[in-house]
Amino acid sequence: MNKKHKTTSWRKLAIAVYGAPNEGKVYGMIDVDVTKMLDYIKMQKTKGKRLTVTNFVIATVARALYEDASDMNCFIKRGKIQYREDVNMCCSVSIKGGKGMTAIVVPKAQDLSVTEITQYSQKKIEEKRQGNDSGAFKAKDIVAKIPWPFRRPITQFIKWWLFDLDLPFPFLKIPRDPFGSFMITNIGTWGLSTGMVALFPMGRLPGVIAIGKITEKPVVIDGKIEIRSIMPLTGTFDHRIVDGAQISNLGRGLTARLQDPEKLDSPNPH
């Protein structure tokens, strides 16, 4: 039987925004030992503080992007690379019981502790799940109502206005640079280990990292086999501005920082 499914606002927008998948992309995958991070999360939970894996990754990527791979913190405007001063981290958020999607942007995430990121994220996520979306993320519902023949030309016009002219879009209350510097999505919550996530064309993001499901695996440490908690990270990057060397720098920064969760949970002076 052919079951009729409701097309979500996000899916309608995606159909209008994405063309054929022929743009240049490059991918990277690493497995990170997060045993210390999970132990720290458990310890903080006994003190009444709820920290999440996603917010640890947001803090880690922001600091690594700012300090280890700053040449990735950029976008292309009119054929030229433009560098950002701060790392504003975008994180996808599931709403409506998993049937809808939106996102939050954590400003200047490179300066914040995991606790500060968690507090900010919880507030913004709660607002969105209560239906109080805003800016570019609210605009998707409006764009989705536009009849199909006009939807793609209008989204392309909005993209040109926002990113080529670098102007806010007051009609839909979309600010300049609405998607931040880099995106994180946690596919591990859906039981997935890896996923080659698509780059959002309207986002002018250099990359997106998918957090996979954490599993216990045998690891050789000092010649001995130990069972450790391993988190897979899969990245999709814009090959126009990112190559293997930059991805390697980012990966080393991520791996090193995740071994010191206490430092990540402290403000980051620089």
pLDDT above 70 for 121: yes
Output the pLDDT for position 21.
45
**Which is higher by pLDDT, 113 or 268?**
113
Q: Which of 19-23, 139-143, 155-159, 208-212 has the highest mean pLDDT?
A: 208-212
What residues contact 96, with CB distance under 8 A and at least 6 apart? none
- H helical segments located in 24-134: 35-46, 53-67, 114-129
**The dihedral of CA 123, 125, 129, 131: what is its sign?**
positive
For residue 1, what pLDDT band results from cuts at 50, 70 and 90? Answer: very low
The two three-digit tokens of residue 210, written as one number: 């998918």
pLDDT in tens, 194-236: 998 888 877 788 899 999 999 999 999 999 999 999 999 999 9
Q: Is the Cβ–Cβ distance between 190 and 210 less than 8 Å?
A: no
Output the pLDDT for position 91.
93
The two three-digit tokens of residue 86, written as one number: 């701060």
What value does the mean pLDDT take over residues 123-147?
74
Q: Is the Cβ–Cβ distance between 46 and 105 less than 8 Å?
A: no
Q: For residues 93 and 121, give the distance between their C-alpha atoms in angstroms, rounded to a whole number.
A: 10
pLDDT above 50 for 2: no
Q: For residues 233 and 11, give the distance between their C-alpha atoms in angstroms, rounded to a whole number.
A: 25
Q: Is the Cβ–Cβ distance between 266 and 59 less than 8 Å?
A: no
What value does the mean pLDDT take over residues 62-82?
88
Output the pLDDT for position 15.
55
Residue 132: count of CB within 10 angstroms of its CB: 10
Helix (H) or strand (E) holding 76: strand 74-77
What value does the mean pLDDT take over residues 86-112?
86
For residue 167, what pLDDT band results from cuts at 50, 70 and 90? Answer: confident
* CATH architecture, domain defined by 9-16+25-262: 2-Layer Sandwich (3.30)
Percent of the chain with pLDDT strictly greater than 90: 50
Output the pLDDT for position 54.
96
